[in-house]
């Protein structure tokens, strides 16, 4: 599977392609994804204006290590927030029941509308690596905050399980209900092992779940469109001979997080 931010960028390219083809107007979600893909570095300096720490070398070292940890944490959270913005902006476009355009009254919560959209009419589609992603997210949440796992998680439809968990992660950090990770939460204090911090990993998998949800939303909308991507050279992988005249958009939407184009023979369920 592609790295997380490259995954976001491949989705960005799909939105740009759809926008250029006048299938819909996708400027807002595409730019959020462009931001998510382009985050390179975030630097946090704890106690930046506290001159007293300069009197203690141990305190200075600890604050430097905390700064590295919080910088990585903030980078992941920034990518998550930009990805969430892309998803919410697209949901508002694709879910017609979200707003009463005549009265301008908001009818349903954005995320609940998406869950309904991905659950109605027995909609089901699988994407390689999706189940593994939400299962890893579930395991991290169960280890860190089991009481925050949605009570209806086992009963919600397959295609919204990742979204349900990501929403919980988002609410914890968006509303300040989650304690920031500290050095004592690192299994090995060496900064090169920072990926072992559970909160950082949890946010990472939640972001991946958001990107998969965007793929499901796009597949839900375009599965019966018959749209072909005639020139797939904008994507960074070779094209099987059977698709020389164009790749079905539906297959591309199942493949864009991978480094190869899946074919119908690879799938347990075809559109």
Mean pLDDT by 10 residues, the chain (271 residues): 91 83 66 93 80 69 79 91 92 69 58 81 79 90 79 80 89 72 54 59 93 91 76 64 71 77 47 30
Question: Tokens at residue 247, please?
Answer: 């790749």
Residue 190 lies in a domain: yes
Residue 156 lies in a domain: yes
Q: Which pLDDT score is estimated for 87?
A: 92
Q: Which domain holds residue 94?
A: 4-225
Residue 94 lies in a domain: yes
Residue 70 lies in a domain: yes
Residue 264 lies in a domain: no
Please count the structural domains in the chain: 1
Q: Which pLDDT score is estimated for 214?
A: 93
Q: Which pLDDT score is estimated for 221?
A: 83
Could you tell me the sign of the dihedral formed by the alpha carbons of 69, 71, 72, 73, in that order?
positive
Residue 254 lies in a domain: no
Residue 95 lies in a domain: yes
Cβ atoms within 10 Å, residue 234: 11
Q: Which pLDDT score is estimated for 195?
A: 46
Residue 148 lies in a domain: yes
Q: Which pLDDT score is estimated for 187?
A: 47
């Amino acid at each position: 599977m592609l790295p997380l931010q490259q995954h976001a960028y491949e989705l960005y390219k799909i939105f740009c392609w759809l926008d250029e083809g006048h299938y819909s107007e996708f400027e807002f979600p595409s730019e959020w994804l462009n931001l998510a893909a382009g985050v390179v570095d975030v630097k946090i300096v704890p106690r930046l204006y506290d001159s007293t720490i300069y009197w203690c070398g141990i305190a200075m070292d600890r604050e430097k290590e905390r700064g590295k940890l919080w910088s990585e944490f903030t980078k992941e959270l920034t990518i998550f927030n930009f990805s969430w913005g892309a998803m919410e902006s697209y949901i508002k476009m694709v879910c017609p029941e979200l707003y009463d355009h005549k009265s301008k009254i908001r009818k349903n919560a954005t995320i609940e509308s998406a869950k309904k959209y991905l659950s109605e009419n027995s909609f089901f589609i699988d994407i390689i690596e999706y189940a593994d992603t939400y299962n890893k997210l579930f395991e991290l949440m169960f280890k860190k905050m089991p009481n925050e796992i949605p009570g209806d998680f086992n009963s919600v439809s397959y295609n919204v399980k990742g979204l349900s968990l990501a929403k919980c992660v988002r609410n914890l950090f968006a509303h300040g209900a989650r304690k920031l990770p500290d050095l004592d939460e690192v299994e090995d204090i060496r900064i090169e092992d920072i990926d072992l911090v559970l909160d950082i990993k949890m946010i990472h998998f939640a972001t991946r779940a958001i990107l998969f949800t965007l793929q499901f939303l796009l597949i839900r909308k375009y599965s019966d469109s018959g749209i072909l991507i005639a020139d797939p050279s904008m994507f960074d992988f070779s094209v099987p001979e059977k698709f020389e005249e164009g790749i079905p958009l539906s297959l591309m939407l199942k493949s864009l997080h991978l480094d190869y184009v899946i074919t119908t023979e690879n799938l347990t369920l075809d559109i």
